[in-house]
Amino acid sequence: MKWEVVIGLEVHVQLSTVSKIFSGSSTAFGAEPNTQASVVELAFPGVLPVLNKAAVNKAIRLGLALNAHINRKNVFARKNYFYPDLPKGYQISQMDLPIVGPGTLTIQVGEEEKVIRVTRAHLEEDAGKSLHEDFHGATGIDLNRAGTPLLEVVSEPDMRSAEEAVAYARGLHTLVTWLGICDGNMQEGSFRVDANVSVRPFGQAEFGTRCEIKNLNSFRFLEAAINYEVERQIELIEDGGRVVQETRLYDPDRGETRSMRSKEDAHDYRYFPDPDLLPVVIPESEIEAVKADMPELPAAMKARFIADYGVSAYDGNLLTASRDIAGYFETLAKVSGQGKLAANWVNGELAAALNRDGLGIAQSPISAERLGGLIARIVDNTISSKIAKEVFEAMWQGSDSADAIIDAKGLRQITDSSAIEAIVDEVLAANQKSVEEFRAGKEKALNALVGQVMKASKGKANPAQAQDILKKKLGA
Amino acid sequence: MSLTHQDVARIAKLARIAVTHDEIESVGAQLNTIFGLIEKMQAVNTDGIEPMAHPQEVSLRLRDDVVTEVNQREAFQAVAPQVEGGLFLVPKVIE
Amino acid sequence: MRGKYEIMINSTLKMLSGDLAAGKVSAEELAKQYLQRIDALNPQLNAFISLDHERTLAEARAADARRARGEAGVLTGVPLVHKDIFCQQGWKTSCGSRMLDNFVSPYDATVVERCAKAGLVTLGRANMDEFAMGSSNENSWYGAVKNPWDLTAIPGGSSGGSAAAVAARLAPVATATDTGGSIRQPASHCGVTGIKPTYGVVSRFGMVAFASSLDQGGPIAQTAEDCALMLNVMAGFDARDSTSLERAGEDYTRDLDQSLEGLRIGLPREYFAEGLSADVARVIDDAVAEFRKLGAEIVEISLPNTELSIPAYYVIAPAEASSNLSRFDGVRYGHRASEYRDLADMYEKSRAEGFGSEVKRRIMVGTYVLSHGYYDAYYLKAQKIRRLVSNDFQDAFRECDVILGPVAPTAAFNIGEKSGDQVQMYLSDIYTLSVNLAGLPGMSVPAGFDGQGRPVGLQIIGNYFAEAKMLNVAHRFQQVTDWHTRAPALSSD
């Protein structure tokens, strides 16, 4: 049987506020345990929550970026359950009236675009952390993270493969960092993904039973976890079993998902509007102010890059993966006047070098302006693309301009016909076998000869010129 | 409406309050008397009535995003049943 | 000293304030005299959960020093009692519960902070029904409070300790809270004056929450004038409480002496129906007659949904309480069972041991009404009825300026009389609950005694923010009556 995969994602976006969602405690990461837990986070008797304006503002930003409806009146509710890292015995969240209503996010999968519907996004507080090691059989509770503002972004089950799910998660990650509402640090848990995965026979309208894989903190784990879970569910069904709706945890060491037994207790969260908090009313003026303050969004910028610089949709997507990349690209395209070439360099050589050295584009040793100098030399035929890579390496290691390196290393392309002719003559003399093969009709032999000319010229001969001269000499 | 022993046990579990086998009968009876009183509400037609969550029809006031709290861990943990290395300790939580 | 002491104990806040300002007595002397009286009389009343003479006297000396510096306010040096529901740094804040028997608060409630700022001196912490749940003060882990007028009677609840302390003249004033009548009913039963302000006027920050949308703090004192002075200290906007109302500060004494000529007093028909005892009815009738003499106009009004306030309240309050009390889990503070198998067992045992039976019952009722499949039928329904109850008042206030009626159907009942019957106890809250549901201000003023010599209070209900008007009504009544000056005869043996 052919199976269709159905995926919906719930992403917990940690909002980058300096203080917590309901108190003036710091949200800084990595402090000593419980040193950033005030009476509010500790849920001392009598304490009350007061909502952080910045959290609301950041939620509106994302809502507008998702073309979503902003609920002018939204309400906080209590989600009641007992857990030691949840000090009040309830989490303040939003249920019936979340701040952000339905919206969409367009993702790029290969050369295809797909619109994923976002159901809602709601504000809530994070829980603390349970530490299970080193306490002679006890669990230690650190409430520093408790009360950190989260925006939970819930998608419709619109994704049909792990690849699409990753594209959506990446797209959302791009958006929240682009908007400056989240630092995007997945290792520190600033962007956590829960995946709802189910399978159904192709053509079936009803969804299959889903499992929720919790707390995936990298795109790689997200992809691996979904792929594992899909296989598991298909195998289970094909073996005559049934998928049980449950929460599962991905174990990256084993590369598998497993059931979270401790959370199997049927939960009854007893949601009700939090009487300590009144409805949040967002005036039109506030929305207009946020709108006015919005940067050009990745989707708009991508469209502009395609139109103005002639880049492909695929490249456009990569170039708008972050504001830094987009900014770098646009500077490069402008100084060089070469959109496509700039795109190739940013997504190719530069991306590879940054990746190799574990750097972000903001830390790139080669500025867009300096890289522009290199592209200019390719365009005016001073160097070949191949030599350009060598120059790029030298630029990466030092601070010289492309021109300085080309001159110092004598890498200028040989375009003087007589000089190339001399090299061609040498090559023809030394490679009689290839010459004969070519004459016998083996076209490929010409490539070998061009290669020899390039080699003999240490890559500096203009390859097109070399080929023309070779052909002429061989009487072709 | 009448709560069964099973209902009482379920509520007690949800509320994390131990109710012993011996208590369940009397607790159930007390709750049922209270619900007898509460049920009187059901006779009233409330169609079209807007629920009232709060006495005042005002919207939430928001605070500026500034850090105002300082570390007071020592004072706060002075009243804690069990702490070690700045952490609150509880019996092992199994995940 | 002895002679002065006798004068002092019957002093009102107003008088004490004047004596302190005139240098007739120091805050320290005053505190010592009250502590002496507390030590002598409290054992038979059990109105206090905590006393700490050292701390009290230190506060008093600080008040005197402040006065010496010329920085004294109106109430600097005046002693008070805090209901054990307001978190107070360095004091045990038990809320009447075993759960918090070991809880010394590391922070101050806003009310406590404001009182300290005014220079009031803490005599001790008043006993109360556990987590403010009760109408008789029999639900305290620290034992029942006795009514100073009759030691076999309940003082009312939940602010029973506050009301008994003021009635017995163990303190000139006490803080209290009212979720369904917990200021007004004990004030009525103890023959003292108490006011629950409009919801949102007094900050709830640091006040241990029972039912967040209903809870409101207020004072209990001998007179309306004292309540006004105290409300001047307690009331005011607090940024730490999202439900605190941003309003300009008020002087609650400003209208005390206004004439009542032409005041329209509404008598709700439903408050005088079946269930009201003859004694209480007589006291209210007499009070109404006094108001007629003062020039007020009496109009009959109707609050048709009064009876429904009982089921609505007993859904909403327990629902909110069930969630508010989830924080008491023995993890960060409070009672933790000594033996347990695992985490779930620790939770269940700690909570079963830490909470008393009434609290547990209400948590369970609240848990049930919020649980899956029941929310609409109970919680939502109750909220709709809450709207109806609230609308009744708004209709009524088109016809009258204030509403008068009884606080409770009878004077104080005997200790143990209703403790086995929750429903009987709940039904006796009928005249007070609707005020909390609507979030209106309400007060109780001493108006007489029943046949057994137990005090009976008169309830005054005003529209939102009508506190000054209500205090005016009460004050004028107290100028022509002397019920509020009567004190119970207590002896220390």
pLDDT digits (tens, 9 = 90+) for C9-18: 779 999 999 9
Q: Quick one: pLDDT at residue A265?
A: 55
Check whether A169 has a pLDDT greater than 70.
yes
CATH assignment of A417-473? Answer: 1.10.10.410
**What are the strands of the beta sheet with A90-94, ordered from one edge?**
A90-94, A76-80, A272-273
Per the CB < 8 Å rule, is A52 touching B92? no
Q: Quick one: pLDDT at residue C407?
A: 98
**CA-based nearest distance B29→chain A, Å:** 23
What proportion of chain B, given as a percentage, has pLDDT over 90? Answer: 88
Interchain CB contact of B40 with A (< 8 Å): no
CB C196 within 8 A of CB C441: yes
**CA-based nearest distance C423→chain B, Å:** 6
* Secondary-structure percent of chain B, ordered helix, strand, coil, rounded to 5: 40, 10, 50
What proportion of chain A, given as a percentage, has pLDDT over 90? Answer: 79
Check whether B95 has a pLDDT greater than 60.
no
Written as one string, the DSSP assignment of C125-168 is: EE--SGGG--SSS---TT-PPPBTTBTTB---SSSHHHHHHHHT
Q: How far is CA C154 from CA C144, C188, C430, C487, in A?
A: 8, 11, 18, 17
The ipTM is 0.97
Check whether C100 has a pLDDT greater than 90.
yes
pLDDT tens, position by position, A72-112: 999 999 999 999 999 999 999 999 999 999 999 999 998 89
Written as one string, the DSSP assignment of C258-275 is: ---TT-EEEEEGGGGSTT
DSSP label at residue A461: B
Confidence of residue A466 (pLDDT cuts 50, 70, 90): confident
Q: Domain limits of chain A?
A: 3-267, 295-409, 417-473
Q: Domain limits of chain B?
A: 5-43
Between A417-430 and A444-456, two packed helices, what is the crossing angle to 10 degrees?
Answer: 120
**CA-based nearest distance C325→chain B, Å:** 10
Q: Domains plus CATH for chain C?
A: 2-259+470-485 (3.90.1300.10)
**CA-based nearest distance B22→chain A, Å:** 25
Confidence of residue A461 (pLDDT cuts 50, 70, 90): confident
Interface with chain A: mutation pick from B69, B73, B83, B94, highest number of A CBs within 10 Å: B69
Q: Nearest-CA neighbor of C40 among C142, C169, C187? A: C169
Name chain C contacts of B38, Cβ cutoff 8 Å: 311, 314-315, 365, 369, 378
Confidence of residue A261 (pLDDT cuts 50, 70, 90): low
pLDDT tens, position by position, C401-457: 999 999 999 999 999 999 888 899 999 999 999 999 999 999 999 999 999 999 999
Residues 6 or more apart whose CB falls under 8 angstroms from that of A2 comprise A201, A202
Q: Nearest-CA neighbor of C155 among C141, C138, C173? A: C138
Confidence of residue A264 (pLDDT cuts 50, 70, 90): very low
For residue A356, count CB atoms less than 10 angstroms from its CB and return exposed for 0-12, middle for 13-18, buried for 19 or more. exposed
Q: Which of A33, A56, A249 sits opposite B87 (nearest CB)?
A: A33
Tell me, what amino acid is at A307? A
String of b and e for A147-177 (b: at least 16 CB within 10 Å)?
Answer: bbbbbbbbbebbbebbebbbbbbbbbbbbbb
Q: Quick one: pLDDT at residue A454?
A: 87
DSSP label at residue A361: G
Which residues face A25 on adjacent strands? none
Interface with chain B: mutation pick from A71, A278, A282, highest number of B CBs within 10 Å: A278
Per the CB < 8 Å rule, is A141 touching B90? yes
Per the CB < 8 Å rule, is B69 touching A26? yes
Query: Distance between CA C380 and CA C370 in Å, rounded?
Result: 9
Which residues face A7 on adjacent strands? A159, A197
Name chain A contacts of C208, Cβ cutoff 8 Å: 45-46
Check whether A441 has a pLDDT greater than 90.
no
Interchain CB contact of C104 with B (< 8 Å): yes
Q: Quick one: pLDDT at residue C2?
A: 42
pLDDT tens, position by position, C390-403: 999 999 999 999 99
CB A54 within 8 A of CB B65: yes
Q: Quick one: pLDDT at residue A93?
A: 98
pLDDT tens, position by position, A290-326: 999 999 999 999 999 999 999 999 999 999 999 999 9
pLDDT tens, position by position, A378-436: 998 888 888 899 999 999 999 999 999 998 888 888 878 888 888 998 898 888 888 88
Residues 6 or more apart whose CB falls under 8 angstroms from that of C92 comprise C49, C50, C84, C100, C101, C102, C103, C104, C105, C125
Q: Summarize the confidence of residues A200-210 as an average pLDDT.
A: 95
Q: Quick one: pLDDT at residue A1?
A: 79
Interchain CB contact of A142 with B (< 8 Å): yes
What proportion of chain C, given as a percentage, has pLDDT over 70? Answer: 98
Q: Summarize the confidence of residues C304-320 as an average pLDDT.
A: 97
**CA-based nearest distance B8→chain C, Å:** 8
Strand ranges (E), A296-435: none
Residues 6 or more apart whose CB falls under 8 angstroms from that of C106 comprise A39, A44, B72, B75, B76, B78, B79, C89
Per the CB < 8 Å rule, is C382 touching B39? no
Q: How far is CA A387 from CA A346, A381, A409, A421, A458, in A?
A: 17, 11, 11, 21, 9
Instruction: Return the partners of chain C (3 or more C-beta pairs < 8 Å).
Output: A, B
Instruction: Say what the pTM is.
Output: 0.93
Q: Quick one: pLDDT at residue C331?
A: 97
**What are the strands of the beta sheet with C402-406, ordered from one edge?**
C48-51, C121-126, C79-83, C173-178, C216-221, C193-196, C442-449, C455-462, C402-406, C264-268, C297-301
- Residues 120-139, chain A, touching B (beta carbon < 8 A): 130-132, 135, 137-139
Q: Which of B14, B65, B72 sits opposite A53 (nearest CB)?
A: B65
Interchain CB contact of B55 with A (< 8 Å): no
Query: Distance between CA A74 and CA A92 in Å, rounded?
Result: 13
Q: Summarize the confidence of residues A210-215 as an average pLDDT.
A: 93
> Thinking of the domain B5-43, which architecture would CATH place it in?
Orthogonal Bundle (1.10)
Q: How far is CA A128 from the centre of its chain?
A: 27
Catalytic positions of C are: 83, 158, 182
Q: Which of A38, A140, A277 sits opposite B87 (nearest CB)?
A: A140
